[in-house]
Structure 1
Amino acid sequence: MSGAEPAAPTEADGLPLWVAVETPQHSGLTGPLAYRADRIWPPGTLLRVPLGRRDVLGVVWDPERVDEEPPDPATWREAGAVFDALPPLPASWCALVDFAARYYQRGTGELALAVLPPELRKLEPAGLAQRLARLRKREATARARAAQALPLVQRPEPGADQAAALAAFEAACGEARPKPQLLYGVTGSGKTEVYLRAAESVLARGRQALVLVPEINLTPQLEQRFAERFPGRRVLALHSGLTPVQRLRHWLLALLGEADIVLGTRMAVFAPLPRLGLIVVDEEHDPSYKQQEGARYSARDLAVWRGHAEGVPVMLGSATPSLESWQRALDGRYQRLDLQARIGGGPLPRVRLFDMGVLPREPGGQGPLLAPRVLDSLRERLERGEQSLIFLNRRGYAPVLHCADCGWKSGCPHCSAWRVFHKGERTLRCHHCGFTERVPRACPDCGNQDIAPIGRGTERLEEQLAPLLPGARIGRLDADTARGKGELERRLAEVHAGEVDVLVGTQMVTKGHDFRRISLVVALNPDSALFASDFRAPERLFALLMQAGGRAGRDAAAATPPEMWVQTWHPTHPLYQALKRHDHGAFAADQLDERRGAGLPPFSHLALLRAEARDVDIAAAWLEGAAAAARALPVAEGVMLYPPVPPPVSRVAGIERLQMLVEAASRPRLQALLAQWVPQLQALKARHRGLTRWAIDVDPLGI
């Protein structure tokens, strides 16, 4: 009878097994599904199950974590083959996935399957069992060989600040629920040595360490440091740059407890570690820890949650902590550990500001490439055989091509953005949708053959430096030059070997690299972020410039004091004045005062609802309907919904984008609204034909 309660399952029906699978987004199914099994497998067990017409990978889920009752047994389908050669995923892993799915408003199966190695989906239980047998045999042989001749490892003596930080870490290890520790250390102060000794401490107790880095290009050098310090220990990486087979092998070693130390990017926060004893988040302020597609999770925040849930210490390291972490340290929720001296007593670079407003402008309104005093500093370093770094956070030759006769510019036909001129490839490329065309011989609108580049990217900067610094060996490192396999490592090796005199690069060269020979850093054209609409733009700029300056003077024995030049049109701006003093505390206090007055994070909590459609009116109508649905909910009291607005790039690949900001004074109030509101949004989509997709972003980085 319609509306009748399903009959309670009997023994004849089989046993209900809840399984997390990746269900289609349009299905509206977000939780685990019920299957029929002849026995109840432990939560975390991997198995194959039918879904529609497909056979898919699933994870047995704890029924206590499932909100709904089992459906009518008549609707159950038979569970398939079980991966019984593999131990179940730890209960702590399932709890982490369950929390992340609820907090970031994603399906449990969607998130669980997204963070598993893709290669697992292709395997049957018998095939995985064979791989595991070979893997265990190979690992046993490798460990036996490593144990035969372990080299003596020389460890530097910790400084006073490092020793104090390590003592605080050891004290935290004895606590049932240790506070996260914010390791606030200036660039070159030896944060990595603290990580190494903390890892050594937990390894001695038979535990595993998880170390997160913001970007793939930082993984190899850190992996080498850990491997050198811990010979005979299994140190491995987890990131998207691995081949599918490598990623599966490393993931299996982590789950089996064979990996002692796992280093990785944001995805590694979900590494299944049965003996976890330490989590390190290096450069914790970095925006790369926030996933920007699919389940938009923050690996840093999940690391803190995981540490609390599993009772293990979490160490967040940065020279420029995020304002959220800084405020939590001020509130006493985090323990702050300061490293305020560079290793060896070396000085921080002297920051000098050059006012570009005093120089005459070139044709086209641009200032000169390098101010005379900055150019003199570069030449002096060259004469002394020292290296310099020039930081320009814009790749390509020029941001746009322009026709002076008719005003044509190289816009992207599919996006509300310019196509960037890449001279070496003779292409115009959109960095948003990837649309690429050859550079036209003449203006497409009026036929004028004199079309010229406007602005400057790293490719043009490299070209223009050559005549200014004759004889200098100029290298460039950005996403274009590091694209090929092994190119990043090769170019970094050239810098470390002293084969480059002047390194030109984007932000990828400013983070974490230990360039021992660089004594001068020059930052070009950083002003655009000062007046951006995104309230986090000044914070990101300050961190980026502090990190860039920190590449200079890392060798305390160098004879020449390190220096940083910033070419700016606004030298009196408070951000630059704090930068001159290396005063993160003053900058943070100023920014936090502004945010407190404006009711912005960390003093409020945000979510962004994004809508995409080929017609902007369809996206707007859907968002307005979503807002009306939210306001009708009783839990909407105290939650502010702002009118829909376009993001900075409002059209990408022919799709119009709008977003609506949701703000609440408390996190529980925002989560209560989202939990009731998000399930309604899929049904709302069905009533607005033409909506391409929608997404909710909890704790967005940019608005």
Structure 2
Amino acid sequence: MKFVDVILPLPLSAAYTYALPEEQQAAVRPGCRVIVPFGAKKFYTAIVVDVHGRQPQGYAVKTVWEILDSDPVLLPVQLDFWRWLADYYLCAVGDVYKAALPSGMKLESESKVVVNSEYAGNAVLSEREQRVVTWVSRRSEPTVTQLQKECEDFRVLRVVRSLMDKGVLAMKEEVKRSYKPRTEVHVRLSETYFDEDKLHELLEGLGRAPKQQSLLLKYLELAGAGTAFRLRNPKMLAEVGRKALVEAVGGSLAICRALEEKGVLEAYPYEIGRLAHTEVTETIGVSPLSEAQARAFRELEEAFARHPVCLLHGVTSSGKTEVYIHLIRQMIAEGKQVLYLVPEIVLTTQLTDRLYRVFGNRMGVYHSKFPDAERVEIWQKQLSEQPYDIIVGVRSSVFLPFRHLGLVIVDEEHEQSYKQQEPAPRYHARNAAIMLARMYGARTLLGTATPALETYYNVRMGKYGLVELTERFGQVRLPEVEVVDIKELQRKRRMAGPFSPRLLEEMRRALENKEQVILFQNRRGYAPMIECHTCGWVPKCKNCDVSLTYHKGLNQMTCHYCGYTCNVPTRCPACEGTELVQRGFGTEKVEDAVHQVFPEAAVARMDLDTTRTRSAYEGILEDFQSGKTDVLIGTQMVTKGLDFERVSVVGILNADAMLNIPDFRSFERAFQLMAQVAGRAGRRSRQGRVILQTKSPDLPLIRQVTEHDYFGLYVGQMEERQMFVYPPFCRLIYVYMKHKRADVLDHLAAEMGSRLRQVFGSRILGPDAPPVARIQLLYIRKIVVKVELGASLAKVREQLLYLRQNLMAHPDYRSAQIYYDVDPM
């Protein structure tokens, strides 16, 4: 008897053992998917991690329900990587599995409600129960979700449970297969006519049906029938699509179907997939490197000989991407694969167009805006004999299978977007990519103009290699950053909405010269909040401890944490006052202000509200790239490594909003955002100009931004962090606790803090309420654990996992959530 240990896509750390059916014992290997029963009635797709003959003792072993794969979909290195992620980021390996595989590869059973066939019809039913029974009877096995949509005025699950207790309804589990291969109808010559004499006789007989004869001749031409007949091998007939065949002769579908009815052609479904099918291998040559780029390329080769991880610290518009392209070409020539990580989907459009012109169909793109079925097919292609040589993607791309990974490029490595926040695993893709590359024996290249301070510290300590690219491509000077003190301007009432007179002057000059402008405001919506002028009342979210943001386009108030919306108030509920004023401004209000000042200018806005679809990103960027848009307004999306040659002016509308965040990284992030958005100006022929509006012009950070002084920022921040013991001089782990009741949560947080202090002493900070202390009806408390660099991480994890397990077993805390965020951002 054989057994398998499997991982389930659930927050479970342990592998579970199932028995293999006798007839399938030779058909499964580690890395294959199987469908297994779990719990009372549910079925899940599990990943086999071991096949053995050790029968578990003390309980009845359930049997594998179905084997889905003949070949593994998970490589051994991937499984090791999953285990490392789960161990390092203090989560279950089931959490990693759930995040790693596309949904279409994780079949789950779906609960459907049916009328019990043994029900005698004599139960006393309430009005709601009768309503549910009637609706179920009229539908074909609805799900609980469908029932809830139909019966919105009450909690349907409670009623369904009552009806199940009375024997009226029953639950039925059905495995849902969400992925279906894309197919098209192809045609082939039937076996009867794969005979030259019969085929000639047929063609002569079709003389009375010239359109059918013409279509059959075209089929024979497209299928390459001459070679197949000569070698007497029907398998050599090429695939021919029915639609393509009909279009090739300019006929109608009826002609083809007539030949099918006569038994001449046979129609059948042919799997074509959803990925782009082109025969392009290399469309243009690689551009030659400038002298500075060539020097950086040589230095990288030397640095990689000494360090597996290197930082390419290149100023904005220095041509780092061109260096990447030469490295990729070198890797492909060595038979290796490349993973090219970008922090945001917004970067992939420009980048993939550029890479595709060089590498053609050797490159694949992987991100969450793609349909799930397309992501399944990319996963399958990576397991095939002809995988992509280059994968360009966001953080989830680290989970893809690679057989010959040689290089991982982490572009804009400083970006917060590389950190997964919710749900688990809360991994950092940069750090995960470094570990993944190490497991493959590959190299990792980190590239940015504004490195994360921890990364630069690793360089200074000799852990990473360093190559610097200090001049812009074409020797264009870095943009001139001009600081405008808006505190004084606001006092004198000289501001035109969010714009200073100096910014308006530069915008007007740029637009007159047919140049483009980027305006950066890191807050979406029209106004961050509405306030009663009389009593100070502010509309807040009913689920979260935050004020609601006013969105003028939607004419509603919205919570940016849980999505709750409500109508815009016209009267204050506290004092009945009607003077409700808007406080602050978001990108939507900036857009309105630009329209008012420059009515002739074409304006676009790029934020989460305008880029919810894959095509929306591409459309905004394409219009700006082609010059159809004059002014682009955006949140931090516009700070990414985008390349626009006609941008001469960048406006940073409110630097202070970035400086006043209660976090030890606030100055680092503010510098990175401002330096990156400034780098969008003057990237081709002449020096650009940046207008930085602030109420704190004397801050050292503002001077560092104007002078492009990254090293000055690094030295100042390292002194502070060493003094107060923050990364990179320690490791941080945040302990988050959530509960729907504040009193229970306070007791839990106090208990957790007390127990942590018994183990870690003064290295514990808190518990405290975070800046947003309630989200989606759950109250939140946070504890900070500082871990010395020399401490045993294995022992720290062991203690933290034990404490969580111990507290969660307490009856008062079973409905609480406790989780850890390792290396938080």
2:455 maps to 325
User: Which runs of structure 1 show a deviation greater than 6 angstroms over 4 or more consecutive aligned residues?
Assistant: 123-130, 132-137, 139-143
1:655 maps to 778
Counterpart CA distance in 1 for 2:745 and 2:576 is 38
Counterpart CA distance in 1 for 2:290 and 2:487 is 44
Answer with 214-223 or 477-486: which moved more: 477-486
What do residues 503-552 of structure 1 show as CA deviations (whole Å, max 9, x unaligned)? Answer: 21111111111111101101011113323320011111110001100111
User: CA shift at 1:140, angstroms?
Assistant: 14
* Counterpart contact for 1:638–1:665, Cα < 8 Å: no
1:605 maps to 731
Larger Rg: 2
Secondary structure, counterpart of 1:644 in structure 2: strand
Secondary structure, counterpart of 2:824 in structure 1: coil
2:446 maps to 316
User: CA shift at 1:130, angstroms?
Assistant: 9.1
Percentage identity across paired residues of the two chains: 33
2:371 maps to 243
Q: Does 1:234 align with 2:362?
A: yes
Counterpart CA distance in 1 for 2:777 and 2:439 is 44
Q: Does 1:58 align with 2:46?
A: yes
Counterpart CA distance in 2 for 1:285 and 1:534 is 16
Extract unaligned runs of 5+ from structure 2: 110-174, 185-268
Amino acid at match of 1:407: G
Secondary structure, counterpart of 1:61 in structure 2: strand
2:132 maps to none
Counterpart CA distance in 2 for 1:151 and 1:252 is 23
1:578 maps to 704
Counterpart CA distance in 2 for 1:89 and 1:51 is 21
User: CA shift at 1:651, angstroms?
Assistant: 1.2
* Counterpart contact for 2:2–2:51, Cα < 8 Å: no
2:321 maps to 192
1:681 to 784, 795, 804: 804
Counterpart CA distance in 2 for 1:596 and 1:185 is 27
User: CA shift at 1:405, angstroms?
Assistant: 1.8
What do residues 268-304 of structure 1 show as CA deviations (whole Å, max 9, x unaligned)? Answer: 1111111111111111000011100121011110001
* Counterpart contact for 1:629–1:677, Cα < 8 Å: no
Counterpart CA distance in 1 for 2:695 and 2:284 is 50
Secondary structure, counterpart of 1:277 in structure 2: strand
User: CA shift at 1:132, angstroms?
Assistant: 11
What do residues 658-678 of structure 1 show as CA deviations (whole Å, max 9, x unaligned)? Answer: 011111112653441222331
Q: Does 1:641 align with 2:641?
A: no
Over the aligned positions, Cα root-mean-square deviation in angstroms equals 2.9
1:469 to 598, 605, 609: 598
Q: Does 1:693 align with 2:824?
A: no
* Counterpart contact for 2:313–2:451, Cα < 8 Å: yes
Amino acid at match of 2:619: R
* Counterpart contact for 2:107–2:177, Cα < 8 Å: no
1:43 maps to 30
**Using a 3 Å threshold, how does the CA distance of structure 1 residues 670 and 151 change in structure 2: closer, same or farther?**
closer
* Counterpart contact for 2:105–2:179, Cα < 8 Å: no
User: CA shift at 1:618, angstroms?
Assistant: 1.3
Amino acid at match of 1:197: H
User: CA shift at 1:73, angstroms?
Assistant: 6.6
* Counterpart contact for 2:675–2:705, Cα < 8 Å: yes
1:155 to 263, 268, 286: 286
**Using a 3 Å threshold, how does the CA distance of structure 1 residues 191 and 18 change in structure 2: closer, same or farther?**
same
1:350 maps to 480
User: CA shift at 1:474, angstroms?
Assistant: 2.3
Counterpart CA distance in 1 for 2:180 and 2:775 is 45
1:30 maps to 13
What pairs up with 1:98-497 in 2 under 5 angstroms? 98-122=83-107, 131=181, 138=272, 146=279, 152-171=283-302, 178-231=307-360, 233-256=361-384, 257-293=386-422, 294-361=424-491, 369-484=498-613, 486-497=615-626
What do residues 1-34 of structure 1 show as CA deviations (whole Å, max 9, x unaligned)? Answer: xxxxxxxxxxxxx2342211134x4xxx412122
Equivalenced residues, count: 667
Counterpart CA distance in 2 for 1:141 and 1:451 is 52
**Using a 3 Å threshold, how does the CA distance of structure 1 residues 489 and 141 change in structure 2: closer, same or farther?**
closer
**Using a 3 Å threshold, how does the CA distance of structure 1 residues 375 and 682 change in structure 2: closer, same or farther?**
same
* Counterpart contact for 2:518–2:632, Cα < 8 Å: yes
Q: Does 1:666 align with 2:666?
A: no
2:749 maps to 623
Counterpart CA distance in 1 for 2:178 and 2:558 is 43
Counterpart CA distance in 2 for 1:172 and 1:49 is 49
Answer with 483-492 or 69-78: which moved more: 69-78
Amino acid at match of 2:46: G
User: CA shift at 1:500, angstroms?
Assistant: 1.8
User: CA shift at 1:410, angstroms?
Assistant: 2.0
**Using a 3 Å threshold, how does the CA distance of structure 1 residues 219 and 485 change in structure 2: closer, same or farther?**
closer
Amino acid at match of 1:308: R
Amino acid at match of 1:334: Y
Secondary structure, counterpart of 1:202 in structure 2: helix
What do residues 115-170 of structure 1 show as CA deviations (whole Å, max 9, x unaligned)? Answer: 11110123999989995999997589987x616xx565132211233223322444
Secondary structure, counterpart of 2:375 in structure 1: helix
Amino acid at match of 1:417: V
Amino acid at match of 1:436: T
Amino acid at match of 2:35: R
**Using a 3 Å threshold, how does the CA distance of structure 1 residues 15 and 631 change in structure 2: closer, same or farther?**
farther
Counterpart CA distance in 2 for 1:690 and 1:309 is 38
Answer with 530-539 or 343-352: which moved more: 530-539
What do residues 221-258 of structure 1 show as CA deviations (whole Å, max 9, x unaligned)? Answer: 22222211112x33212211111111111111122252
Counterpart CA distance in 1 for 2:270 and 2:431 is 34
**Using a 3 Å threshold, how does the CA distance of structure 1 residues 639 and 674 change in structure 2: closer, same or farther?**
farther
Answer with 79-88 or 421-430: which moved more: 79-88
- Bigger RCO of structures 1 and 2 (CA < 8 A, at least 6 apart): 1
Answer with 683-692 or 92-101: which moved more: 683-692
Amino acid at match of 1:160: E
1:10 maps to none
1:9 maps to none
**Using a 3 Å threshold, how does the CA distance of structure 1 residues 456 and 530 change in structure 2: closer, same or farther?**
same
Secondary structure, counterpart of 1:676 in structure 2: helix
Secondary structure, counterpart of 1:546 in structure 2: helix
* Counterpart contact for 1:356–1:367, Cα < 8 Å: no
Amino acid at match of 1:33: Y
Extract unaligned runs of 5+ from structure 1: 1-13
2:649 to 520, 523, 534: 520
User: CA shift at 1:208, angstroms?
Assistant: 1.2
2:71 maps to 86
Counterpart CA distance in 2 for 1:415 and 1:381 is 43
TM-score (norm 2): 0.76
User: CA shift at 1:472, angstroms?
Assistant: 2.3
2:197 maps to none
